[in-house]
Amino acid sequence: MGLAAKKSIVAANRPREFVRRLPLPTILIPSFPTAHSSLLPTPIKLAPSSAPIGRVSAAARMEGSKAAPAKTLPLGLDPTMEEEYESQSKLLGEFASISSIDKAWTFKSENGIGSHAMFAISQANLLANQRRKSILSANVSKGSNSSVCFQWAPFPVEMTGVATMLPSPSGSKLLVVRNPESESPVQFEIWSQSHLEKEFQIPQSVHGSVYTDGWFEGISWNSDETHIAYVAEEPTPAKPTFDGQGYKKCGSEEKDCGSWKGVGEWEEEWGETYAGKRRPVIFIIDINSGEVQPVKGISKHLSAGQVVWAPSTETSPQYLIFVGWSSETRKLGIKYCYNRPCGLYAARAPFFGEISEEDLLVLNVTQGISSAFFPVFSPDGKHLLFLSARNSVDSGAHSATESLHRIDWPANLQALSSAKIVEMISVVQCPEDGGFPGIYNGSFLRKPWLSDGTTIVLNSVWGSSEVILSVNVSSGDLTRISPSDSNAAWRALTLNDDNIIAVSSSPIDLPEIKYGYKEVQDDAWNWSSVRSPMIKCSARVKSLLSSREFNILKIPVKDVSANLTKGASKPYEAIQVSRTSKKYGQLDPLIVFLHGGPHAVSLSSFSKNIAFLASLGYSLLIVNYRGSLGFGEEALHSLPGKIGTQDVNDVLAAIDHAIDKGFASPNRIAVIGGSHGGFLTTHLIGQAPERFAAAAARNPVCNLASMVGTTDIPDWCYFEVYGSEGKDKFTEAASAADLAIFHSKSPISHISKVKTPTIFLIGAQDLRVPQSNGIQYARSLKEKGVETKIMIFPNDVHGLEIPRTDYESFINIGVWFKKYCK
């Protein structure tokens, strides 16, 4: 980096006092939100206008005095359902106001007695149309009888404008990153427990926004807390400059009213949610000087992420380990897609001695495996662990069972290229009944190790539940440490010495903090509930949730044939939510929920939207059809090549099972799904048109023949339609024969039979299933005279997760279902 760039990074060492000192290690200047009785703005009543200009007859005046002015309803609002719309919007506002627990950290106390915990929480801010982020702290102390006490700070501290933050290894410093909304500099702040120690403004000429996406994202302090490695967008590449005379050879980067910038050559991006994001590159900042340097030697064809520091020694140079995704030709969509090849790489870190041309060589340390991500070193630096999605990469499935691997870190890094990769936890093809099904959606904690230095804690999926696992990396022994008799979802947040701070929830239970510990004489994990002010709800919501119960049903596979594998013949699951006390002789209408993917899973965790619909008086059936994650590899791979048939039949069988058990009425059934769940929704109303009273499709896949040429994951179309052959058949130029098969597998091929009133929720910025897919299907329904409503959210993408989008979507879904199911 040049001298000018270095000078442009300004360090401000001036202390900045907190507005209020709390008895706990709070972090940022508090900006306390005001209390609101409702998330909705108060209606403003306008005064009547003055009398009309001109002469009016007495008869007209008399008529006008009798008749109120005509009421104009908002576009698309059914006048017969306006009161219902208002009522549901208020109830959904109460659900939307419930906070979520996102992350947690623990710190040792200065006196060595007890510890401190810090929780990152978020809440929908509908007026600002974003998530409001805050921090709440607690003192943690343990009693003599294994009890634990959390003493909470009186108020949370709002984290306005914070993109991400990370405490240092010792807990004495905190990095806070603020990404710009325009071309302003990125802001790095280094905080102590009492004040701001350093502040650095990093201009766009050095790098763009820091990645905080959870995938490329990687921020890592070195062991002596003097440098931070992180992933950010590379600087904007130079663009051609033109003026009235034509092209300027030496175009300036400064803005000039007498010239303009051309667009230059189009660059591939990583698809859905990465539109406008430049290539992720690794940088290091010296927190004493503020100097920033990129890590050199990384190929332009490699996107880097998930960076960590390798163990340092006095005799060897300082290295970084990072994940690299190659993209020499096409960048296929990477969001939710684990089937993109990636590996672990080692690169020399700047700032630590002279680096020769030979030192710039970046070494691939996992050449023998097609996928490696989430690297983490053991506390003693002797082992490097990572997860692998090689079954996804090798088969073509966008997500599948993962495996856990270990590399014994050599003292001499020259031997790293020949280091052996040890498989610790293998892919499970067919789990025993109730047995471990494999690792899914695996993720490591920031500090995942117990004090023995050999046991790591991670979260995974087990059937329809999320669970907490421990793995001994020496022996490979795996243990489920969240309660095996619980159907709720459990997720570890952070470790507190050899104890675990976790969160547990269910479809009818708000998230609750849990504290896991072992008795000295007992090897089993014990869990206690922790009272917390973080997750609260209104009295009405609490009452409605208490009137519901949930269970996980086992659904037998119908028509088991000899060519089905053992895993594909085993029962799949559905989460049932219903009233605790049934109405005599009457069943509630049923809503069937279908997840996308198809290789994803609906978990038995709390969902505000699902709880909202249940509170309106519906029973729910949340189906994890075969092909879902969490049930072994054989069950997952039974679906590709059979989409639109096997998954449709699984859902219908689950509905029949619920009816047979007296849980659902066959006459009042609604169905909702997004993405592949929308594919299933629109297939069901076409293949079984008499069974569904209403439907809601969120960014649905309706026509594979049109999707394959416009989506960011055309390979998905080939794999799900052709199965194991799809990976080799994939091409950017689909043949006429391919397009005919794609059409025949699509919901639109059954559209002539559809009768079900259907509402469509579509994100205009969706790159995964472009809006034309759902709109074509919806227009075809309108053409047939089927009751149809289309809502397009101009600024949202595939997940439809922007707060206002999410809120308005489920108000309209609730009202739509009320109109046609009751």
**DSSP annotation of 653:** H
Residue pair 295/284 in contact by the 8 Å Cβ criterion: yes
Tokens of 665: 């009425």
Tokens of 709: 């040429």
Residue pair 183/229 in contact by the 8 Å Cβ criterion: no
For residue 365, which of 426, 416, 294, 411 has the smallest C-alpha distance? Answer: 416
- The β-bridge relationship of strands 241-243 and 246-248 is antiparallel
Helix axis angle, 736-744 to 714-722, nearest 10°: 70
End-to-end, the C-alpha distance of the chain in Å comes to: 67
Q: What is the largest CA-CA distance in the chain?
A: 102
Residue 256 falls in the annotated catalytic set: no
Residue pair 117/145 in contact by the 8 Å Cβ criterion: no
Element containing residue 614 per DSSP (H, E): helix 608-615
Residue tagged active-site, from 766, 796, 806, 809 = 766
Return the CA Rg of the chain.
28
Distance from C-alpha of 138 to C-alpha of 496, rounded to nearest angstrom: 13
Residue tagged active-site, from 619, 798, 806, 809 = 798
Distance from C-alpha of 236 to C-alpha of 233, rounded to nearest angstrom: 8
Residue 766 falls in the annotated catalytic set: yes
Residue 796 falls in the annotated catalytic set: no
Cα–chain-centroid distance for residue 447?
A: 21
SS3 label, residue 610: helix
Residue pair 376/322 in contact by the 8 Å Cβ criterion: no
Q: Which residues of 53-67 are buried (b: 16+ CB within 10 A; e: fewer)?
A: eeeeeeeeeeeeeee
Distance from C-alpha of 452 to C-alpha of 584, rounded to nearest angstrom: 57
DSSP string, 468-492: EEEEETTT--EEE-S-TT--SEEEE
- The β-bridge relationship of strands 619-624 and 590-594 is parallel
Tokens of 397: 């499935």
Residue tagged active-site, from 378, 399, 465, 675 = 675
Which amino acids are annotated catalytic?
675, 766, 798
